[in-house]
Structure 1
Amino acid sequence: MPTLVSSRLLFLVGDSLPLGRLFHVSRAACFPGNVRFLSRFSCENRPLTLASLGVKSEVDARKKNKVDRLDGLNAAAEVPKSKAKAVRVKEANQKKSLEVEAAPFAAKSFSELGLPPLLLKRLEEEGLAVPTDIQSTAIPTILEGHDAVIQSYTGSGKTLAYLLPILSEVGPLKKETANDEDPGRRKEVEAVIVAPSRELGMQIVREFEKLLGPTDKRMVQQLVGGANRARQEEALKKNKPAIVVGTPGRIAEISATGKLHTHGCRYLVLDEVDELLAFNFREDMHRILEHVGRRSGAGPQSRNEPLAQRTDRQTIMVSATVPFSVVRAARSWGRDPVLVQAKSVSSLESVTSSGPINLAGLSSDAPSESASQPHASAESLPPALKHYYCTSKLQHKVDTLRRCVHALGAKYVIVFMNQNKQLKDTVYKLEARGMGAAELHGDLSKLARSTVLKKFKRGELRVLVTNELAARGLDIPECDLVVNLDLPTDSIHYAHRAGRTGRLGRKGVIITICEQHELFVVKKIQKQLGVAFEPCDFVEGKLLVKKENLTQVKLTDCLHESSDEMGD
């Protein structure tokens, strides 16, 4: 310091140049305030600048390089709809670029998607011949090795969209390669699929088992809460599964005991990822993200280090709705992830960031979902849905529900409410009026929930009364009517509830029963979704659809109507 500051310099107190930046020492260690200095022998007696010290050019150069790098990172990838062309997606932390082949967006058969022969044979045996739009787009993208966020409406086939690429590389149906390991060698877990609910986890396992068949179904292990943990740990030891499907709590719990080894895992799938970002999953998701797919021999991990640099896995996130919290999480957890939608592949780098996200995106001081996420849109809904609403007094809602079911002739009805304690009362009132009903919620045991679902699928129950638990992952293709007896909290929850009907191109109806003072909420959800909600009423066993001016009505049989509706 004395050698740098000589008697030739006159020190004046000011705020032009912090010396801490100039000499790379803290301000408190140097002087109590900021300092400006002037040369006593300067002919113009002007303040010295960084340029006069030969520093400006270096600083400007560094800034320019930084801007150039940021411009490269923010460049969005354009995906052509031609098979012959390819798009280039910039690798965030590498100089080289990856080529993403444009997917065959309207494949006529699974054989066009690059799946192995054994897997194609199993698909044919299961009666699956033509892939859906999201499957045509997602399967080639995942097979190319890209981290992905898969977004499509509920019931569009998202489960198979990530399940088939995994089975193409893992297990007995995979592609034959010269480097295949000895089948007698001890196997490690190669894929971990995380689901927010037991029902969704069990549904995913059933999809795997259908394709693997009874002989090889042991290679998939279910780790869900509510089941006997000791038996699950014993099955892990005995079967040595290659694929694990479970809920965050149980996976993290068994991992902490050292009985689940996932460091060499190749795939991590987060199904219904927007639900997994909830605060109650924070600690469990943190452990899963830290341990699944970590490079062998990696040193101690720092929370400040980007997760993409600490892992050697392919991360796939799935949901019908992708709020911005999911985009931020994907950019933090994955390596240059792409957004995969029906007939579309784009880069998440094109989405403007609102700042860095902590590991797992689950910081307690993170902004609320409502403040940071976009609303659900019509693309989040099955295309063949019809939306209605009617008003009723609170004490008459159950009777309105009963008249609604009879008017539409619905055989499989899912009714959504917000509070568990109200479910039993609703079921009691329906049964008292001769309508078979049962409740489904998280407080029931695994056996009780399984029994209720089996009865509903077999047609022994007409109405299933549930809460948000069933809005994720409940797959009952025959469901022809969804009723909101309580209003959903936002458009995203509405989209997930509505997705229980109209699955895989079928027709479906969703009716919201609300009180008069709640109409503004219905209008707000309608505006956010960008779809039409028609007002209706139930008279003499028929659904009367009202005109917006409330002066005309028309009779409609919603579930069985023809393209030519009856006139007014």
Structure 2
Amino acid sequence: MEVLIGQTHRNMMTFVSSRLLLSRGNFIPLKKLCFVSGEAKIHTSMRVQSRIDRQNRPLTLETLGFRSERVKEKGNNTNQIGPMSLDKDVPRSIKTAPKRSVPVKAVSVKALEIEGAPFTAKSFLELGLPPLLIEQLDKVGLTTPTDVQSTAIPTISQNRDVIIQSYTGSGKTLAYLLPILAKVGPLKCVSIVDEPDKKKGIEAVIVAPSRELGMQIVREVEKLLGPEGRKAVQQLVGGANRSRQEEALKKNKPAIVVGTPGRIAEISAAGKLPTHGCQFLVLDEVDELLSFNFREDMHRILEHVGKRPGGEKPNNKLPPQARRVERQTVLVSATVPFSVIRAARSWGRDPLLVRAKSILPLDSVPASGTVSVSDPTSSSTSSILTQGTVESLPPVLKHYYCVTRAQHKIDTLRKCVHALDAKYVIAFMNHSKRLKDVVFKLEARGMNAAELHGDIGKLARSTVLKKFKGGEVRVLVTNELSARGLDVPECDLVVNLDLPTDSIHYAHRAGRAGRLGRKGCVVTICEESEVFVVNKLQRQLGVPIQDCDFTDGKLVVSKVEKEKQKTTSEVAR
């Protein structure tokens, strides 16, 4: 009996001491505390929140260690936070939550909308880019960063793995290219000195799902590097001569390679693409790269880029952060379904979701995916998209739909082009076999048109794109091939001759118009039985898609639609 009383007394003392330890108010930077009684073998677990969760504060560029000139002028009343630590002291200007002596439930971290610098920088100089790079930006006429660039550039510069999510045409390509060029290539910061014993090789790998997007990225890099530095970038896309690409790699020794998964994996497997010392891995249009077609190639890329050779063992004496893969992973897309979030958690190191004027930790992103909008049995009230899908559309776009019979769709397309006086039109269909018939009927009605799809050769595709961008072709009839990466800033009208399979595909199609703040329209031509799909797209994307018709050479919004808008405005008041 005495032994039992003694053990009970010791157990009670252990529990009391643990409660006293928490009630003193001192912060304990551990996610979980375990108290074990040596004799009674009683195991007690308690969860203690990190400081950011406990005080319900969002992540900002300031907490990542970046400060703009405007912030520095206010004085040194804020505690500076290291770039790789989020659990240190936060600025005093933010009121702290009252201390609690008992564990509380974790509060999801919310994004913070900030209108001050550096989220809305007025110049690239504020973002800490090197002088040579800023000088080159001035030469090509780029002086003011977009919102997503103001947020992403300093975040990537702080060596953070990120997902960049913003609507198409918002400047995502430069958002990741500029911080890379600040550390890699001839325009990098002067203070970055290469180690004499270190062999110079591939320092950045950029992967794109299509040849067109890959070649477009290469042109952007070459434009920034200028004629003298063009050899610093090499394209490795499918459909081109592989042996010539390998010769160029050997001769030019580029610092940056841009290509498609198949060709990069192919040359890597041949041992002619050393990427173990790579600093950056960028996956553009990552949601497309997650498709089954790219699975094996992406696996090889992820296993070889920026990872140490098999014979080199990591130093176990280093902290876990230092033992990680050296590469910095950047994922980019206009839409971020949960499959991308899951991939980022697997491939990256504490990645952040970066949007225009906000930074979001992945832990706060809901585990929701997407479902097909053509399925009438799915619930309309369910949350099937992440917040990123809602923000994936250019803000100045106008959305309409027109109901007609299937045999009248092409004639409705012609009326739509004339009514809106559109000069650059992209018409989307779901099946490439029907494209030629649409082009034939449009040309028979006196409208210059051309088809673009994956079954035609590389030279033919380049010729069609050149004619479209040059204004020789007014209507480009295409499939999902052009929904990603096709950059024609002058495009002012997108027409869905066939309904997109889901809201993500709608967003990518629509993003071909209204790029970089320009005006544009998206018109979906559908049958009466497909209107419910349009209504579902409208609810999911959070944008009004107005019912319209084309009469007397004008776009006319239906009376029912006008009544809806009137009722909505009255309710809002």
| Fold similarity call, TM over 0.5 | yes
Contact 1:122/1:211 (8 A) holds in 2? yes
Alignment-mate amino acid for residue 222 of structure 1: Q
C-alpha displacement of 1:310:
5.0
Q: Quick check: 1:344 aligned with 2:358?
A: yes
Q: Tell me the number of residue pairs that the alignment of Structure 1 and Structure 2 aligns.
A: 478
Distance 1:128 1:253 in 2: 36
The 3-state SS of whatever aligns with 2:399 is: strand
Structure 2 residue ranges without an equivalent (≥5):
1-35, 72-77, 92-111, 315-319, 370-381, 567-573
Distance 1:77 1:312 in 2: 29
Contact 1:437/1:461 (8 A) holds in 2? yes
Alignment-mate amino acid for residue 540 of structure 2: Q
The partner residue of 1:473 within 477, 482, 485 is 485
Contact 1:266/1:312 (8 A) holds in 2? yes
C-alpha displacement of 1:177:
2.1
Identify the residue that residue 424 of structure 1 maps to in structure 2. 436
The 5 A counterparts of 1:42-121 are 54=39, 56-57=41-42, 59-60=43-44, 63-64=45-46, 67-68=47-48, 78-80=58-60, 83=67, 84=71, 104-121=118-135
Distance 1:239 1:288 in 2: 22
Q: Quick check: 1:236 aligned with 2:216?
A: no
Identify the residue that residue 484 of structure 1 maps to in structure 2. 496
The partner residue of 2:338 within 310, 324, 328 is 324
Distance 2:421 2:207 in 1: 37
Contact 2:183/2:192 (8 A) holds in 1? no
Cα offsets for 1:356-409 (capped at 9, x unmatched)? xxxxxxxxxxxxxx9985376441110110000001111111111011111111
The partner residue of 1:224 within 232, 237, 253 is 237
Alignment-mate amino acid for residue 395 of structure 2: P
Identify the residue that residue 506 of structure 1 maps to in structure 2. 518
C-alpha displacement of 1:189:
0.2
Identify the residue that residue 358 of structure 1 maps to in structure 2. none
Structure 2 vs 1, CA of residues 409 and 156 (structure 1 numbering), >3 Å: closer, same or farther? same
Alignment-mate amino acid for residue 536 of structure 1: C
Identify the residue that residue 535 of structure 1 maps to in structure 2. 547
Cα offsets for 1:94-138 (capped at 9, x unmatched)? 997699999601111111110111111110000111110011111
Alignment-mate amino acid for residue 291 of structure 1: H
The 5 A counterparts of 1:258-269 are 258-269=271-282
Contact 1:77/1:87 (8 A) holds in 2? no
Alignment-mate amino acid for residue 547 of structure 2: P
Contact 1:546/1:553 (8 A) holds in 2? no
Identify the residue that residue 198 of structure 1 maps to in structure 2. 211
Identify the residue that residue 379 of structure 1 maps to in structure 2. 391
The partner residue of 1:274 within 282, 287, 312 is 287
C-alpha displacement of 1:277:
0.9
TM-score (norm 2): 0.77
- Give the RMSD, CA atoms, in angstroms: 3.3
Contact 1:78/1:87 (8 A) holds in 2? no
The partner residue of 1:215 within 221, 225, 228 is 228
Q: Quick check: 1:388 aligned with 2:368?
A: no
Identify the residue that residue 409 of structure 1 maps to in structure 2. 421
Q: Quick check: 1:254 aligned with 2:234?
A: no
Contact 1:153/1:320 (8 A) holds in 2? yes
Identity %: 67
Q: Quick check: 1:161 aligned with 2:161?
A: no
Structure 2 vs 1, CA of residues 385 and 236 (structure 1 numbering), >3 Å: closer, same or farther? same
Alignment-mate amino acid for residue 281 of structure 2: L
Contact 2:366/2:386 (8 A) holds in 1? no
Contact 1:105/1:136 (8 A) holds in 2? yes
TM-score (norm 1): 0.77
C-alpha displacement of 1:332:
1.1
Alignment-mate amino acid for residue 79 of structure 1: L
Distance 2:359 2:406 in 1: 46
The 3-state SS of whatever aligns with 1:328 is: helix
Distance 1:299 1:170 in 2: 24
Q: Quick check: 1:311 aligned with 2:325?
A: yes
Identify the residue that residue 31 of structure 1 maps to in structure 2. none
Contact 2:368/2:383 (8 A) holds in 1? no
Cα offsets for 1:288-313 (capped at 9, x unmatched)? 10000003566699xxxx99965211
Cα offsets for 1:389-443 (capped at 9, x unmatched)? 0011111111110111111110000000000101111111111111111111111
Alignment-mate amino acid for residue 320 of structure 1: A
The 3-state SS of whatever aligns with 2:353 is: strand
Distance 1:540 1:250 in 2: 52
Contact 1:148/1:337 (8 A) holds in 2? yes
Contact 2:79/2:89 (8 A) holds in 1? no
The 3-state SS of whatever aligns with 1:525 is: helix
Distance 2:198 2:285 in 1: 34
Contact 1:375/1:528 (8 A) holds in 2? no
The partner residue of 1:292 within 305, 311, 325 is 305
Distance 2:218 2:291 in 1: 23
Larger Rg: 1
Alignment-mate amino acid for residue 417 of structure 1: M
The 3-state SS of whatever aligns with 2:339 is: helix
C-alpha displacement of 1:160:
0.4
C-alpha displacement of 1:479:
0.3
Structure 2 vs 1, CA of residues 315 and 515 (structure 1 numbering), >3 Å: closer, same or farther? same
Alignment-mate amino acid for residue 229 of structure 1: R
Distance 2:271 2:56 in 1: 42
Structure 2 vs 1, CA of residues 397 and 245 (structure 1 numbering), >3 Å: closer, same or farther? same
Q: Quick check: 1:398 aligned with 2:410?
A: yes
C-alpha displacement of 1:539:
1.0
Structure 1 residue ranges without an equivalent (≥5):
1-50, 356-369, 555-568
C-alpha displacement of 1:230:
1.1
Distance 1:505 1:95 in 2: 34
